[in-house]
């Protein structure tokens, strides 16, 4: 069965600092990987996704993520965090074939200090 | 505008009083799903539907029912709500073709309180 682990429940960074949110997945075949963001009081919005090709993917709001098959990871990065990036971030995985039911991580809450 | 709508956004009810949370999408998506979100537990899937008249249990289906009579609608029914169903609920939809990379589109959420 597929699973997703986000090892950090909370991350605190200063505005302008760089950010990396970790995501590790467990899945036997080629996964499709997603990062979603949930701003306070909002639903989830897709930041970026990986399904094939270049392992470094660019998303909205200046975010990027790198797929590393050898490490089963799909970490989210941003070079300079803005106060408006404070939100909950979810990593998700689904299979490339067969069932398209996604599995979500438990989320990482990002706190941004001025 | 492509969107998933949920109603109501906020609901306070009492134990045992049946309620329905509606979900509708205008993107002609095959796949729809309900999640609940609780602090420290992330998103847990309640039920999902791969197409009209096709529904299946997710990870936490107890105490919930769903139906999919039309492609665009996927209501969540709590026949006899209990306080442990107090939570934030999200509906989501996506294209359902196998092998596609299709991401999910989420509704704005329904905050339910059962007293």
- Asked if the Cβ–Cβ distance from B41 to A106 is below 8 Å, we say yes
Q: Give burial (CB, 10 Å; 0-12/13-18/19+) of A67.
A: buried
| Contact criterion met (CB below 8 Å) for A103 and A3 | yes
pLDDT tens column, A57-82: 999 999 999 999 999 999 999 999 99
CA distance A14 to B20: 43
For each of chain B's 115 residues, which pLDDT tens digit applies?
A: 889 999 999 999 999 999 999 999 999 999 999 999 998 888 999 999 988 999 999 989 999 999 999 999 999 999 999 999 999 999 999 887 655 667 889 999 999 999 9
User: Which residues, in sequence order, are CB contacts of B103 under 8 Å at separation 6+?
Assistant: A34, A46, A49, B94
Q: Is B83 on the interface with A (CB under 8 A)?
A: no
Confidence band, pLDDT 50/70/90 cuts, at residue A42: confident
Nearest CB neighbour to A43, from listed B31, B94, B106: B106
B-chain residue closest to A50, CA distance: B101
Question: Residue B84, SS3?
Answer: helix
Q: Is B46 on the interface with A (CB under 8 A)?
A: no
Amino acid A67: pLDDT: 94
Pairing of the two strands B110-114 and A44-50: unpaired
B107 to chain A: which residues are within 8 Å by CB?
A: 43
């Amino acid at each position: 069965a597929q699973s997703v682990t986000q090892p950090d429940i909370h991350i605190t960074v200063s505005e302008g600092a760089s950010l990396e949110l970790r995501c590790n997945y467990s899945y036997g075949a080629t996964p499709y990987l997603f990062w979603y963001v949930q701003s306070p009081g909002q639903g989830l919005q897709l930041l970026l996704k990986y399904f094939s090709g270049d392992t470094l993917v660019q998303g909205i709001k200046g975010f990027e993520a790198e797929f590393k098959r050898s490490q089963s990871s799909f970490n989210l990065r941003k070079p300079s965090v803005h106060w408006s990036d404070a939100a909950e971030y979810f990593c998700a995985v689904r299979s490339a074939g067969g069932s398209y039911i996604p599995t979500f991580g438990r989320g990482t809450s990002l706190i941004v200090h001025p | 505008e492509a969107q998933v709508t949920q109603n109501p956004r906020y609901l306070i009810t009492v134990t045992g009083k049946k309620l329905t949370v509606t979900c509708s999408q205008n993107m002609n998506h095959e796949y729809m799903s309900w999640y609940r979100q609780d602090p420290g537990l992330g998103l847990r899937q309640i039920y999902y539907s791969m197409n009209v008249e096709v529904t299946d249990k997710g990870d936490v289906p107890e105490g919930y029912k769903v139906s999919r009579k039309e492609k665009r609608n996927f209501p969540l029914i709590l026949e006899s709500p209990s306080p442990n169903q107090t939570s934030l609920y999200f509906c989501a939809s996506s294209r359902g073709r196998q092998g596609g990379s299709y991401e999910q589109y989420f509704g704005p959420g329904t905050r339910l309180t059962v007293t």
